[in-house]
């Protein structure tokens, strides 16, 4: 069910009934066979949909007055780009670090025009090499950028929270009750930049502790507007300041700088992805007693260049998954 979201086929059932899945070599062979099967597309739809919030793309409703060119074709293209990208990393068994660093993506004419990429024609998607570092990896995908924004403006808080939860595995605490709303203008009615508004908000001690974590990665993505278009000026025509400092003191500027900062300690991202995979495979949240298994999967995957298959095999061979399998059936993967 983990890989196909479906019942096992005859070959897997036969191997299970004969006790062959107790052999690590046979377990690996069956896993790789299943990953190569078209039914593994369920992992793209269901796991990627859950991890990357792709299901939220369908509900995107950007402000029509501010973004009159946004429509159904772009909404569909956002989701398809990320699905094809995830599928490529999975099926080509690439390093999962490419989710952060890939210099390629998948676009059709509509999406390429939105991204400012010339000479792409037709409705079919094709893999392209990105012209610069700005959009590399998931942090440059319209699906991520638009679902972490409000209909009429960007939100460093939503974007920063997304990075913490889904890339670093350090979700911020829930906001305290009666949090004051964001002030977007000064007392005389002058517009504040997003950074100025957030700095005023963060001056409240009640808000400061969480925003110290969330805001820096969110500011890095201010180079993209609420529908994921690159920009150098914000909604008020003020120059974008996308610089920031992470809690560990790492200084960065923009999406490319944030990406480089995340890659200084790549094991943090891989550990987070492992936790997400294990959660999906087990059908429950990870607990403290799962931590040794997660560390082992991440450590062993490093020796294989963090290839996607090494994480999936690690999850399937891990004690939490094997215990679930022995308590249930012998063919849960």
Contact 217, 160 (CB under 8 A): yes
Query: Model confidence over 268-308: pLDDT tens digits?
Result: 999 999 999 999 999 999 999 999 999 999 999 999 999 99
**Helix or strand holding residue 300 (H, E):** helix 291-302
Query: Model confidence over 243-259: pLDDT tens digits?
Result: 988 877 889 999 999 99
Q: Which two tokens stand for residue 115?
A: 């991204």
Q: What is the pLDDT of residue 210?
A: 63
Q: Which two tokens stand for residue 279?
A: 């959660």
Q: What is the pLDDT of residue 329?
A: 45
Contact 147, 141 (CB under 8 A): no
Query: Model confidence over 114-147: pLDDT tens digits?
Result: 999 999 999 999 999 999 999 999 999 999 999 9
User: Is residue 192 pLDDT above 70, yes or no?
Assistant: no
Share of the chain above pLDDT 70, in %: 85
- Which residue, among 275, 250, 249, has the nearest Cα to 263 in the 3D structure? 250
Q: How do strand 251-253 and strand 243-245 relate by DSSP bridges?
A: antiparallel
Q: What are the two backbone dihedrals, phi and then psi, of residue 307, each rounded to the nearest 5 degrees?
A: -60, 145
Number of alpha carbons in the 13 Å side-chain half-sphere of residue 91: 15
What are the residue boundaries of the structural domains of the chain, listed by start? 10-35+265-327, 37-147, 154-262
CA–CA dist 137, 301 (Å, integer):
20
């Amino acid at each position: 069910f983990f890989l196909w979201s479906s019942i096992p086929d005859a070959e897997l059932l036969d191997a299970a009934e004969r006790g062959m899945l107790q052999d690590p070599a046979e377990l690996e062979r069956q896993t790789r066979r299943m990953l190569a099967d078209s039914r593994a597309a369920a992992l793209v739809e269901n796991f990627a949909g859950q991890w990357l919030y792709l299901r939220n793309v369908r509900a995107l409703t950007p402000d029509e007055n501010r973004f009159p060119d946004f429509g159904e074709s772009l909404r569909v293209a956002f989701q398809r780009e990320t699905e094809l990208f995830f599928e490529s990393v999975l099926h080509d068994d690439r390093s999962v670090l490419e989710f952060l660093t890939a210099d390629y993506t998948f676009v059709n004419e509509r999406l390429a025009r939105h991204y400012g990429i010339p000479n792409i024609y037709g409705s079919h998607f094709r893999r392209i090499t990105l012209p610069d570092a700005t959009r590399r990896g998931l942090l440059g995908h319209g699906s991520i950028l638009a679902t972490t924004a409000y209909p009429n403006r960007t939100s460093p808080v939503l974007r920063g929270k997304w990075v913490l939860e889904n890339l670093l595995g350090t979700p911020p605490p829930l906001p305290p009750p009666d949090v004051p709303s964001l002030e977007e203008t000064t007392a005389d009615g002058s517009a504040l930049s997003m950074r100025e508004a957030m700095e005023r908000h963060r001056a409240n001690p009640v808000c400061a502790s969480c925003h110290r974590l969330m805001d820096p990665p969110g500011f890095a993505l201010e180079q993209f507007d609420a529908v994921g278009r690159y920009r150098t000026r914000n909604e008020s025509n003020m120059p974008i300041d996308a610089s920031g400092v992470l809690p560990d003191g790492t200084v960065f500027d923009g999406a490319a700088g944030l990406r480089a900062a995340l890659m200084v300690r790549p094991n943090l991202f891989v550990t987070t992805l492992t936790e997400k995979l294990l959660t999906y495979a087990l059908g429950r949240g990870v607990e403290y007693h799962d931590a040794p298994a997660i560390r082992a999967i991440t450590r062993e995957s490093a020796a294989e260049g963090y290839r996607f298959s090494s994480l999936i095999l690690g999850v399937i061979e891990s004690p939490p998954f094997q215990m679930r399998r022995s308590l249930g059936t012998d063919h849960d993967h």
